[in-house]
Structure 1
């Protein structure tokens, strides 16, 4: 497991004195924002991105694309209605240096873009980024004709030597460690001379909703995509070569980042409303409606947004989270406060995320008095009376919000490095305090 960072700043997680009743405006989706930036950068004409998320991961993506010659102007939309980014495609070029931070979308989505650049692009990032697998993208790009220097590590740091074009064609990959390997290849594929046919040949694919999100967004900008869901072969995706359109796209709220706020209603027996919750979405966070209802809440999608109400009781759950692994830390936090045991399955791939999330959750909840054990592909959680203490985050934003959820019910919880939430949820402490009326 990653070493605990030497952060000295501790944030006292607010303890709820009663039911929480609040309306929380959740910022835009990181997953949608970063996919939209890549597609806009590869388009044949300028486009608008409205209500983008401004967080560490999305600002790293924008900075990386700018380094490769893409124009991204920050301002307001053409009708003056709120913040928007104008993305102006240009000839991708190097030499350039990309700082990926610890953002999976940046480190995986941009090497195929760099292969289309005229010149070399070096990728580097946080120390943890060196431990995260990139071999699925690196090996696939080599099969498609790209030249990449990674000293045979299959991870960062590395340099992609772009030649201005890539032939594309058939490639087989094992994406069982990250669905982002598939999305990375699909996003740039319309610009490949022959498009692409991606065949997944490994174990079960995690986070399938994120691949569906990629496909949906590709189709929105005019790409032709054949998928298993549209009658194609299982585990095969085909994208036809062609120009992408510049679009005027509004980013949905990040439903996964709504998790701690909905959890607050469940944990305290209150009610939280999240405005602008979409009726139809490919975001994995939409599963929260089902999962948190099974754990004791109820929800209704109204004209005001999603209204989630806690019943005052929290029930354990046995659930396969393979398609929505990013929700695991928040669900584990709620499960630690439940009235019966929980088993969270299908998330072995979380050992390769921002940190080893399974080991981190086990250690941190247990150090507060919990009883969590790792399984081969998840966690088994037996609720115990918890006590206060330091909850370490390992530079992982979802660990920080998991600790905050526990802190609602357990006095004396202190979050180490709550600032790591800026990765995808800027100003989380202020949003949390506002929800509690502090």
Structure 2
């Protein structure tokens, strides 16, 4: 599907979805690997990579800072660097790519010069103050007037040294950003959490694994403290695993239609936190009455749409961080489920309650789903269209942020998609 219309109506297939689908590469790992390769001296080859809006924006920003990023094929990057980023001629404009904005905000402190890290109107309301405060505590001149992008960083060529504390409650990406920049310090750097809460801690483990692959020396002092040596990075060849968040849509399509979709990789082979969603999805239509989404945040919209067809209501807890994603995903999921059927969902503080109704399956309930420029809202609610007639997804092209071939994938499994006005 080369050119997407303004809206797509999904025609319920009325048959099990069966086939082989290779999920795209992990966005989270691809953007980590791109940055680490740019901070390493020499040439690194990244295979199995995701080519999507977020990773294209990261690659473009690195090119602005003097890094050679070649793309020999659809799933590879070849990154050649001196091991140091150069001051770009203009701002780094990163759309709504949270990983790119957070990671580069810390990394550009190692530039000798001033760098402006910015995003689009959606990114400009996503908080970054805890990361800016942590950078300032290291003696780095970083400012953000609104507590959100744009951020102005006046680097002096080093990441400093000593101890830095960070509140990771809003986003684990703040912690990952500091961790990845720390090996470029003047001396050892200790990074400590100010509290026990951290958004999706598994992504910090993902960061450390990638850092070690590029030669970083990371010591886990205790559950909330890491010590890093000024080792720098060395170039390497790095294989990127498929995206677990993308896999959740395939697992969801499988259980909703009673089908069998071969992903070519077992759920327990993923290292990404969202892979934990498979164990929950596999219990459909008897998923737990309470689901803690704190460590699989990007999978929550997928599971919430499945919950609409569950045999009993589901309360999602531990998901407050979803309010500061590409959109307020708690509000968005609740609003759009209620658009399908009034009373189908509600917000209770920062919890989301889905009032399950297995009888929805097979009905025609025309609904035009607002996607809020959020790829995960679009892809999750497409699953509702596999069992309910009349589901139309607005702005389907927003899936290009992480899964450009999403609609082609559904069509390849036999799902009919019709352009809508």
Normalised by the size of structure 2, how large is the TM-score?
0.92
Q: CA deviation at 1:314?
A: 5.2
Work out the CA distance in 1 between the residues paired with 2:402 and 2:349. 28
Secondary structure of 1:337's aligned partner = coil
Conserved 8 A contact 2:172-2:198: yes
Q: How many pairs were matched up?
A: 405
Match of 1:245 in 2: 234
Q: CA deviation at 1:158?
A: 2.2
Match of 1:356 in 2: 328
Which of 35, 38, 41 aligns to 2:38? It is 41
Work out the CA distance in 1 between the residues paired with 2:346 and 2:324. 18
Structure 1 residues 351-373: Cα deviation after superposition (integer angstroms, max 9, x where no partner):
01100000010000011105211
Match of 1:293 in 2: 282
Match of 1:23 in 2: 20
Match of 1:260 in 2: 249
Unaligned runs of 5+ in 2: 417-421
Q: CA deviation at 1:316?
A: 5.1
After superposition, the Cα gap between the structure-2 partners of 1:49 and 1:233, relative to the gap in structure 1 and judged at 3 Å, is: same
Please tell me whether residue 13 in structure 1 is matched to residue 7 in structure 2.
no
Structure 1 residues 296-332: Cα deviation after superposition (integer angstroms, max 9, x where no partner):
xxxxxxxxxxxxxxxxx45454221111111000000
Match of 2:419 in 1: none
Which of 363, 368, 372 aligns to 1:394? It is 372
After superposition, the Cα gap between the structure-2 partners of 1:83 and 1:272, relative to the gap in structure 1 and judged at 3 Å, is: closer
Secondary structure of 1:27's aligned partner = coil
Conserved 8 A contact 1:14-1:404: no
1:337-356, aligned counterparts within 5 Å? 337-356=309-328
Work out the CA distance in 1 between the residues paired with 2:389 and 2:154. 53
Work out the CA distance in 1 between the residues paired with 2:374 and 2:388. 21
Which of 393, 408, 430 aligns to 2:386? It is 408
| RMSD (CA atoms) | 1.8
Q: CA deviation at 1:180?
A: 0.4
Structure 1 residues 376-429: Cα deviation after superposition (integer angstroms, max 9, x where no partner):
332111123542210110011110011100010000000011111000001211
Conserved 8 A contact 1:14-1:433: no
Structure 1 residues 3-42: Cα deviation after superposition (integer angstroms, max 9, x where no partner):
xxxx991111231211111111111000010000111011
Normalised by the size of structure 1, how large is the TM-score?
0.89
After superposition, the Cα gap between the structure-2 partners of 1:338 and 1:253, relative to the gap in structure 1 and judged at 3 Å, is: same
After superposition, the Cα gap between the structure-2 partners of 1:255 and 1:233, relative to the gap in structure 1 and judged at 3 Å, is: same
Structure 1 residues 79-123: Cα deviation after superposition (integer angstroms, max 9, x where no partner):
xxx742111113421144211111110110001211111221112
Q: CA deviation at 1:437?
A: 5.9
1:93-108, aligned counterparts within 5 Å? 93-95=86-88, 96-108=90-102
Work out the CA distance in 2 between the residues paired with 1:14 and 1:100. 35
Please tell me whether residue 374 in structure 1 is matched to residue 347 in structure 2.
yes
